[in-house]
Amino acid sequence: MRILIDSQWIDKEEQIPVYDPFDLSLIDTIPKADRRDVERVLAAAEKGSKIARTLSIHERSQILYKTADILASRLDEFAQLLARESSKTIREARKEVSRCVNTLRVSGEESKRIHGETISFDSFPGGEQRKGYYYRYPIGIILAITPFNDPLNLVAHKLGPAIAGGNSVILKPATVTPLSAVKLAEILLEAGLPPEVLQIITGHGGEIGEPLIQDDRVKMISFTGGIAAGKKIVSMAGIKKLGMELGSNSPVIVWHDCDLDWAVESCVSGAFWAAGQNCIGVQRIFIHRKKYSMFKDKFVQRTKALKTGNKMDEETDMGPMITATEALRVENWINDAVKEGATILCGGSRENALVKPTVLENVAKTSRIYYEEVFGPVVNLFPIDDFDKAIEEANRLEYGLHAAVFTKDVNLAFKAAYGIECGGVMINESTDYRLDSMPFGGVKNSGLGREGIKFALQEMTEPKVICFYHG
């Protein structure tokens, strides 16, 4: 597979292999770019930004609508590729492609809603005989750095609003899952996007990422990934806009009055979707002591029923983690937690990159599997008696992306909604619920700014004031 630089699909002698994490079969290779390619990309993106800002809103929206239509017509093809290169099962992959179609369509719609407004200059002394307004204009070059866990839709969440806002984009997809991102670029060009507007560069972050991040021609970095990489980007970026989605350790409160079966079903799905490699996946569940045993039994039973294995099997519920190295890390965390007193209720074993869905209890709050983001198929259960204490535990960590509460008591729901420090609180829904048009992002170490098309567009455009004196 080739990459897109300066309107050309190029190949290089040095290649990076892309493997299926389930069976380690070679899917394809991707060019390994170097620092010389970085300068080409930046120069081309500068030219592209001048072209992008001249595209009418009608042209931008039509490109995005057409891309969505092409993707919808090739849904199964994209799902097959996505499932092979990632941890997603084929059913999970189809859902992600469908969400990507929606993300692109919403981007097309929101491009038409980039509004300004008139300003009443004469509402203050010194403003007489003046009329004016503000409008929003493109900021220029956006560097989009995307993760492996949603390798198609999270690319669309950056490309869609960037194009809608009239910007050019440099896309650096995850090295282990670049193929579906490149395919998306192909259909963007097929839909009429001028090739100068989009650059795709693949390679290792230390070689190509740092010079891109540090370059002043880049006006915004939109990054989704881990906290360590996020902090490094912030330290290198200089004065430019930053959009950072950095993960979480999502808490759930299950109260005694809730629909227990629904809470179990939602939390199992939220915990083990994409093998737990989900920034808003369920990790800590605090259950009222009255219903703890019942919830635990149902949750473990439902978890044990999950079928793991071949991602391409329609019956498979959960596939492998992205690499055997990551799976080994999670296995070690589980073993460390057990040494510190945790009990394995189910799972806990590993075969290559496949970690069995794991449920723990009695986890020490000093264990890293409690206080860090596990980013794997592991859930910790805790009994609790006091709702305020549950909120306190939810806020205890330096993460704040999503939280959830299951209750029929509207007063408790509001208490959680306003009391938990995070970017979103889901009521009677798992933490992993996300509508692609809603504002999405976190507080504390979970990030800066918000994604969601309308909200990303605000970040990717700037207001300019126009004032007329008519004396």
Kindly list the catalytic residues. 245, 279
What is the rounded CA–CA span in Å between residue 379 and residue 390?
16
Q: Is the dihedral of CA 187, 190, 196, 197 positive or negative?
A: negative
Helix (H) or strand (E) holding 241: strand 241-245
Tokens of 227: 């906290």
Tokens of 458: 């605000």
DSSP state of 240: S
Amino acid, single-letter form, for residue 399: Y
**DSSP β-ladder status, 461-469 and 130-138:** antiparallel
Backbone angles phi, psi at 295, to 5 degrees: -60, -45
- Cβ neighbours around 119 below 10 Å, total: 16
What is the rounded CA–CA span in Å between residue 190 and residue 63?
9
DSSP state of 357: P
What is the rounded CA–CA span in Å between residue 42 and residue 211?
10
Q: Which long-range contacts link 323-330 to residues 24+ away (Cβ below 8 Å)?
A: 323/21, 323/176, 323/353, 324/21, 324/352, 324/353, 326/277, 326/353, 326/375, 326/376, 327/352, 327/353, 327/354, 327/355, 327/376, 329/376, 330/355, 330/374, 330/375, 330/376, 330/377, 330/378
Instruction: Please name the residues in contact with 418: beta carbons below 8 A apart, sequence gap of 6 or more.
Output: none
What does R_g of the chain's alpha carbons equal in angstroms?
23
What is the rounded CA–CA span in Å between residue 200 and residue 428?
40
Edge-to-edge strands of the sheet including 461-469? 117-119, 130-138, 461-469
- Cβ neighbours around 56 below 10 Å, total: 10
Partnered with residue 132 across adjacent β-strands are 119, 467
